Structures are given as structure tokens and as C-alpha cells.
Structure 1
Amino acid sequence: MSQARTLYDLLGDADSLAIVCHNNPDPDCLSSALALGRIAAAAGVDERRILYSGRISHQQNRAFVNLLDLDLQPFDPEVVHDRPDGALLAFVDHAIPGANNEVPPGTPVDVVIDHHPAEGIDARFVDHREAVGATATILAEYVAELDVEVDATLATALTFAIRRETLGFLRGATPAEYEAVASLHDRTDRDLLRRLSTPSVSGETVDAIADAIRNRVVRGGTLLTHVGRTNERDALPQAADYLATLEGVETAVVFGIVDDAIHLSGRSTDPRINLGDALGDAFDDVGSAGGHREMAGGQIPLGIFADYTTDDATLVDIVNRLVSNRVFAALGLDDGGDED
């Protein structure tokens, strides 16, 4: 029996389905949740909820939710406590309770569909494919195989997510992504797709990216920079995407202080390194970090640093030294090099 049919049969025995997105969900996660909800509806599950935690602050993510009119609810801890028989819990685009989500570690999970590197995944149904470029690719395969009705909203959501997750098929794309988008082509709303691709950018985001450009340090082909303290968490991956295109730069890592944590985002085209593994090695003892070979991120609680000083400039300087030392050491660049 295929994975799609196995999932469909599992959902057919359920009374309800709670689909939990990862923190600060992006279009890959959101479109996958939408598709899984449609599959559950086709299987006869009447009660379905998509839950998220964190913020939907990136301008494309906000546009995605608003233009597609997605029905999202804030994460409710009661959903995962004392679930009755027939109440299923699903993860899409993430895999482990407590890792990039608000679900308590050790919570039983029924469905996991993901493409990110992860170990120790435990669920009744698991489709974990690190080789594909997007979780939305897997869900697009499912809806095609199960003959689930695909309207313009779902087709456009999945298509946009696959395009964005692969940077327009330039990062991590496989034949599966092309096949998935081709299967959705006739039902995709091209005008809506254009509007999703070109949302307005806030002045705060532009300022944060400007700070990243100004604070950059380059060693060899690696660029490391920060945006200081910011409320624009989603400016970090945008800055990383842009700075990774600079001449001579193969790896770009951007970090900033958001609330009570240090957030990192990195991009790499260097075939000699796996950026997800490198950031994991650098920060797993003090926080959580990881991702793919070409795209990775992390989050480190400020902890004692938050109590050390109330001066943001001093705090940023301390964090800059800590993060720089660890990143450059993990990439074998701790002996110094050219700086810009």
C-alpha cells in the first residue's frame, strides 16, 4: 500500500485532526497543513484545526495567509493533553515534539510529514524525505494520488510554497518538485501567484537588512553579520538570501537578538560544507540549530546574557563575539582571514 493510501486509511478512522505547524510557519508548512486538512476532509474527518505558535511576520507569509484566507488558530496546549481515541495530532514540515514547536517533548504524535533532517522521529505514520526540496511536494503527490479535489486556493498555495522553498527551483529542487508543480499548473491562479511573490516590504525590514550589510565580516568565502536587536525576525533569512549572492561569498550567516533569544539564519553554496550540520555543531549545546546543506538556522536563549547588562550595545557586542567565535570555529575559520 502506498504512503498516501496508508495515511488516508489512518485518517478515515479518526474523529478529529489537529495539524500543528512549526513556530513562525512559512508557506511550505502552511500549504502542507492546508493540503493535509483537505485530505482529512475527503477521508471523512469533520473536525480539523491548523494550529501555529510564534509569529507570522514575514511579509510573504502574511500575504500568504491573508490572500488565501487560511483559517489558522493559535496553538492550544490542551489539544495535546489527554487526547481521546480518534483525536489525531499531525506535524507537517517539522518532526519532533519540542523542536521548533510548542508541543511538549515526548508527546505522542500520530502523523509526521517532513523534508528536514531529523533523527528519532516517532509517529504512527511517518513520511520523512530529506531528498525532496519541500514538504509541499509530498502533499502535492498525495492529493494527486488520492484524487482529492484541488481548487485554485490549494493549487496556488502548494505551487507558491514549492517555488519559494527552492528559491525558484535553484536550491534543493529535484524532479519531484517539477512534477508536483506541473500537476497543479492548470488549477493555479497566476494572478494570485504574482501577488504572493511581490508583497510590500516594511521600512523596518529594509533597515534590518541595511544593518546586516553594514556589519558584515568576511573570512574566506564566509560572510557573518548581525542586525543587532530587532523585532524583524524574518529580515534575517531575507538578509542571508541577499548577502549569499555577493561576489566571492559562498556562505552567509546572519543573526540578531529577538526578544529573549538569538536567532540565526544561513545560506550556503559551498559544496565542502553542510551548513545545517555546522550550525548544529556550533550551537546544539546552548540552543537548537540545524537544517539542510544549503539552508539552516537556529535559536539560542539569551539566558545569563540578558541579566548581564541592560545596555543593548554592550549585549550585542557580547553576543557578536560569542556567535562569531562559534560559527567561524565550526567552519574551520577560527584562525582569522580577510575581513570586509
Structure 2
Amino acid sequence: MSEPSTTHPAGELRDLLGESESVTILCHNNPDPDCLASALALGRIAAAAGVDEWQIAYSGEISHQQNRAFVTLLDIDLERFDPATARDRPDGELLAFVDHSIPGRNNRVPEETPVDIVVDHHPAEAVDARFVDHREAVGATATIFTEYVRDLDADLDADLATALLFAIRRETLEFLRGTTRAEYEAAGYLHERTDTDLLRQLATPSVTGATLDAIATAIDNRRTRGSVLISHVGRTTERDALPQAADYLQTLEGVETAIVFGIVGRSIHLSGRTTDPRIHLGDALDDAFADVGTAGGHQDMAGGEVPLGVFADYTADDEHLLAMVEAVVSDRLVSELRLSEDSSG
């Protein structure tokens, strides 16, 4: 198993890329700015290393209005990922993960698929690849790629600088969450190279009516137990409304932890935020739902996905389905977080 690089990781990455003919840079499901900017930076590094062909691929959906704006304004060329191509790659073709690290977790890569490159900052165990730079301490994967670009003296035009800076700002909630000295150093390096008008456009995308409706539903359905708020958005097509609702509800007076869930397609999605130092939200969600789905994340922000499975087959009545999902998910959260049964709206 490869270990994270401790000396000159940028040079090691460049050398590995230089041995290859092509690289597929795979984003995680529903890629966000940190993932997309990191993929863009890796593509530039690959091109500079002499890689003939590189592509950015993704699974899932790009549904958050900010993520869609990011792709459009930066003109990022994305391709849909075909899981069937992951295992039987021709010699000389590399598979790279950015902002995620384990096959089958937050991606549609078959488990046990060999991975060549992993660069990530999310908590994970047993990360295995030919090149691994896994730094849980830093606040954004884009911070790591900014270091690479600087160390390799790679081409850093205004678009890439803006993408990386916006990603760092967004991932750290404007330097208020999980920020280290590395984020400030990266931002200082990127600042003078950034297109400020483009940065402003990225920060202020329009919001869809469906997103507002989902957030409003979460507000209406909120229940609090002490400093913990649990709510749901019902059924929605706006997956990324969940973290937006969690961000908003976590600011409610007296609330330290907000967890929002909802049905998207044939899965239950969860998103949580906390400022309570006694709770590691990623571990809590993993413990609560690992037996039925996938969940995890950082101490202060986390998410998860649980297939509807038998729920969807049990009833065709959407209202009944929502009631069952609400009961089961809420009970698991109440049990895992050891909350009292007393609640308020």
C-alpha cells in the first residue's frame, strides 16, 4: 500500500504523470468547487508533464446552482464516467481521484479497482494508490493543488487561479471552517492572479425556486432536541438544497448541530453541520447508517446516502413512504446522538 508523500509530492506526481499517455481525472459524485478546481489543476499539471490526453469525468449530478455556475463560467469540459472502463484500463492510462479516495465511496468505481493517483483531504482509511497525498489536516484539496502549481511553476492563468481561490473560500466557508495556515498561504499566492469579476460571479449564482422550496420545507419540518436540530425536505430533485438547508438551520439561535435529510430519486440523502466540539459528525453519521448505506465526513460537516431499498417497494403512497423514512432516520439519529425524546418545533 502506498503511503502519503512526505517529501516533494509535486515532483513525484509530475514524474508519475510523465510516464503515462493519458489520465482520467475522476470527480466524486455531485462534484463541488473544491473537487472541480482540483481536477482542473491536475489536468494542467498533466499537460505540462507531457500527457497526451487528459479528461475530467464525474458521476452523479451537478445540481447545486453554484456548482453549475462554476462549470459554465470556467468552461470546464466534463465527461460522464463509465464504471465499466475503470478496471480494464490500457497500459499507460492512469486513473486519478481528486477530493475523494476510496473506490465505491462517493463514486461509482467498482470496489477493489486499482487507482493510480489520490489527492484528498477528507477523512478515510486504507487509501491505496501508486501516488497518495492524503492530508486530513488541511481545509481543502484545492490548497494541496495550489502548492503543486506553485512548486512546479505550472501555468497559472486567471481562470485556474480564480477556480482554486474560490474553491478554498467555499470549502472553508470563507476561512471560518477547518482553516489552516496553508489555506491563507495559498490564498495569498492566488490573490494577485485572480479575476475578481469572475470571482464575484461565482460567489453570487441565482437560486432555483425548487431549492428555495426545499429549504422552506426543512424550516417547516424542523424539530429540536436540546442543541440538535433534525429536519427533512421531503422528496426533492434538488440534492444540494440539503447542505444549504443545514447551513441555514445551523445558524438558528440555540442550535449547534443541524441534520437535514430527504428523498432524492431512490435514495435518502443526509447533510449535517455542527459547531459542537463534543460531536464528530462524520463518525456519528457513519455509525448511524454504515450498515444500510454510506456516510461520513469531517468533525463539523458530514453527509450520507442510504438506498431506499425495501422502503420504495413497500408502498406506492409517497406520503406513507416519507413518514416511514422520517421515523427510521430520526430514530437512528436520536439513538446515535443520545438525544432525549422531548422535541420542539
CA offsets, 1:304-325, max 9 Å, x none? 0001111111111100010001
Match of 2:76 in 1: 70
Q: Percent identity?
A: 70
1:313 to 289, 313, 319: 319
1:337 to 330, 337, 342: 342
Question: Which secondary structure state, in structure 2, belongs to the residue aligned with residue 80 of structure 1?
Answer: helix
How far the C-alpha of 1:66 sits from its partner, in A, is 0.1
Match of 1:254 in 2: 260
| CA root-mean-square deviation | 0.8
- Contact 2:210/2:238, CA 8 A, preserved across alignment: yes
Question: Which secondary structure state, in structure 2, belongs to the residue aligned with residue 107 of structure 1?
Answer: coil
1:142 aligns with 2:148: yes
How far the C-alpha of 1:104 sits from its partner, in A, is 0.5
Question: Which secondary structure state, in structure 1, belongs to the residue aligned with residue 177 of structure 2?
Answer: coil
Listed as ranges, the gaps of 5+ residues in structure 1 are: none
Match of 1:298 in 2: 304
Listed as ranges, the gaps of 5+ residues in structure 2 are: 1-6
Match of 1:90 in 2: 96
CA offsets, 1:152-177, max 9 Å, x none? 11000000000000111111111111
How far the C-alpha of 1:78 sits from its partner, in A, is 4.3
| Distance (whole Å) between structure 2 residues aligned to residue 165 and residue 202 of structure 1 | 22
- Contact 2:87/2:114, CA 8 A, preserved across alignment: no
1:37-186 residue pairs with structure 2 within 5 A? 37-186=43-192
- Contact 2:282/2:298, CA 8 A, preserved across alignment: yes
1:8-27 residue pairs with structure 2 within 5 A? 8-27=14-33
- Contact 1:18/1:79, CA 8 A, preserved across alignment: no
- Structure 2 residue identity aligned to 1:337: D
CA offsets, 1:262-309, max 9 Å, x none? 000000000001000000000000000000000000000000000111
| Distance (whole Å) between structure 1 residues aligned to residue 179 and residue 165 of structure 2 | 13
How far the C-alpha of 1:120 sits from its partner, in A, is 1.1
CA offsets, 1:42-92, max 9 Å, x none? 100010010001111100000000000001100023431321221110000
1:240 aligns with 2:246: yes
How far the C-alpha of 1:336 sits from its partner, in A, is 1.5
- Contact 2:26/2:58, CA 8 A, preserved across alignment: yes
| Distance (whole Å) between structure 2 residues aligned to residue 236 and residue 104 of structure 1 | 27
Q: TM-score, normalised by structure 1?
A: 0.99
Q: TM-score, normalised by structure 2?
A: 0.97
CA offsets, 1:19-60, max 9 Å, x none? 011001000000000000000011000100100011111000
- How many residue pairs were aligned? 339
